[in-house]
């Protein structure tokens, strides 16, 4: 079913204990689109880039099924740029550079051909922009999934709360859930966050997997123990892309569907961390993904 994804398309420069990159392809919409394209094509992207964005990256994304009609190219500006350095434990990082560039004035355009979309993924962006996209769709999608981060809780909490009222599923990490709710217990936090609007909440816990909450129910997806995490950049966006992609492919809407979507998202995220940036997602085979999902099944299975 038709899918629209919104988010940054950008450059990242990444430093990990394993090495460092120059400016490479990054951005939430990039990871989301590549992950979602495992399930549905086209993935209709809404984003903005500058004159420095590479044609070859655009072409790579199109060859993976991205429709870039909704991606504005600003001729006199530069693309969003982020640079960060991961600590040895790979669980925390320092931001070295954030250049908003084109994102600072992003006014999202919804092409006519995107109207009527049934699934909408709002990648991490200003909650104002996320809300504008919802408002600019003439009919409300069947399922709206949204990511956000602590930065917006710090500087735009009121706007974030407005946007939360309009969505179905919020996907955030444990630290963000604690900040947004003010509760340390994730169970209490989930209850409080769902009172803000979303009917479903996914809390990502990195190597510890993810929790899915809805209406008194909870599902715990395991984290796959990995020998090595090479670069965590984009893993959360990849998770979100896998989640919405699975839902859009299957037409899913209920808790059981979302449990499976969490597993597929987790499987894709486990690939993402194996190489720098989105490299491992490029050309990823469906058979590889399905084999990884079977590892998750085996990992979590027990019979009482």
* Phi, psi dihedral angles at 83 (to 5 degrees): -135, 135
Q: Pick one of 23, 85, 259, 275: the residue that binds its own copies (CB under 8 A).
A: 259
Minimum CB separation from its own copies for residue 205, in Å? 7
- Position 302 contacts its own copies (CB under 8 A): yes
Minimum CB separation from its own copies for residue 214, in Å? 13
- Position 151 contacts its own copies (CB under 8 A): no
- Position 293 contacts its own copies (CB under 8 A): yes
- Position 187 contacts its own copies (CB under 8 A): yes
When the beta carbons of 64 and 204 are compared against its own copies, the nearer one is 204
Q: Which two tokens stand for residue 282?
A: 């490029």
- Position 250 contacts its own copies (CB under 8 A): no
Nearest to 147 by CA among 227, 265, 231, 10: 265
- Position 215 contacts its own copies (CB under 8 A): no
Minimum CB separation from its own copies for residue 259, in Å? 4
Minimum CB separation from its own copies for residue 293, in Å? 6
Q: Are 82 and 10 in contact (CB under 8 A)?
A: yes
User: Secondary structure of the chain in the HEC alphabet?
Assistant: CCEEEECCCEEEEEEECCEECCCEEECHHHHHHHHHCCCCCCEEEEEEEECCCCHHHHHHHHHCCEEEEEEEEECCCCCEEEEEEECCCCCCEEEEEEECHHHHHCCCCCCHHHCCCCEEEECCCCHHHHHHHHHHCCCCCCEEEEECCHHHHHHCHHHHHHHHCCCCEEEEEHHHHHHHHCCCCHHHHHHHHHCCCCCEEEEECHHHCEEEEECCEEEEECCCCCCCCCCCCCHHHHHHHHHHHHHHHHCCCCHHHHHHHHHHHHHHHHHHCCCCCCHHHCCCCHHHHHHHHHHHHHHHCCCC
When the beta carbons of 30 and 38 are compared against its own copies, the nearer one is 38
Q: Are 72 and 47 in contact (CB under 8 A)?
A: yes
- Position 138 contacts its own copies (CB under 8 A): no
When the beta carbons of 60 and 218 are compared against its own copies, the nearer one is 218
Minimum CB separation from its own copies for residue 7, in Å? 27
Minimum CB separation from its own copies for residue 264, in Å? 9
When the beta carbons of 47 and 266 are compared against its own copies, the nearer one is 266
Minimum CB separation from its own copies for residue 215, in Å? 14
Q: Pick one of 128, 219, 274, 282: the residue that binds its own copies (CB under 8 A).
A: 219
Residues near its own copies (CB under 8 A), total: 41
* Residues between 16 and 35 with contacts to its own copies, criterion CB under 8 A: none
* Residues between 167 and 186 with contacts to its own copies, criterion CB under 8 A: 184-186
Q: Pick one of 72, 150, 159, 220: the residue that binds its own copies (CB under 8 A).
A: 220
Nearest to 25 by CA among 53, 67, 63: 53
Q: Pick one of 54, 109, 137, 188: the residue that binds its own copies (CB under 8 A).
A: 188
Name the site residues for its own copies (rule: CB under 8 A).
88-90, 184-188, 190, 205, 207-209, 211, 217-223, 225-229, 256, 259-260, 262-263, 293-294, 297-304
């Amino acid at each position: 079913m038709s899918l629209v994804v919104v988010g940054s398309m950008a450059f990242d420069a990444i430093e990990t204990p394993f090495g460092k990159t120059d400016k490479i392809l990054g951005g939430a919409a990039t990871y989301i689109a590549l992950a979602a394209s495992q399930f549905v094509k086209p993935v209709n992207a809404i984003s903005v880039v500058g004159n420095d964005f590479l044609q070859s990256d655009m072409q790579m994304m199109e060859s993976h099924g991205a429709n870039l009609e909704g991606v504005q190219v600003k001729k006199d500006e530069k693309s969003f740029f982020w640079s960060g350095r991961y600590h040895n434990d790979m669980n925390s990082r320092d931001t070295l550079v954030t250049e908003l560039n084109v994102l600072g004035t992003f006014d999202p355009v919804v092409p006519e051909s995107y109207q009527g979309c049934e699934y909408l993924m709002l990648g991490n962006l200003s909650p104002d922009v996320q809300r504008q996209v919802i408002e600019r769709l003439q009919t409300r999608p069947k399922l709206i999934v949204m990511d956000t981060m602590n930065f917006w809780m710090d500087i735009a909490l009121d706007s974030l709360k407005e946007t939360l009222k309009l969505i179905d599923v919020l996907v955030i990490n444990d630290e963000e859930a604690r900040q947004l709710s003010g509760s340390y217990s994730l169970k209490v936090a989930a209850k409080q966050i769902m009172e803000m609007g979303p009917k479903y909440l996914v809390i990502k816990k990195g190597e510890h997997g993810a929790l899915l909450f809805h209406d008194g129910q909870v599902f715990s997806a395991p984290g796959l123990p990995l020998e090595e995490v090479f670069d965590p950049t984009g893993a959360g966006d990849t998770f979100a892309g896998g989640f919405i992609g699975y839902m859009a492919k299957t037409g899913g809407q209920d808790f059981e569907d979302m449990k499976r979507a969490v597993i597929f998202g987790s499987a894709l995220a486990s690939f993402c961390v194996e190489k720098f940036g989105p490299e491992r997602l490029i050309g990823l085979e469906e058979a590889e993904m399905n084999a990884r999902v079977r590892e998750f099944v085996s990992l979590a299975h027990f019979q009482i």
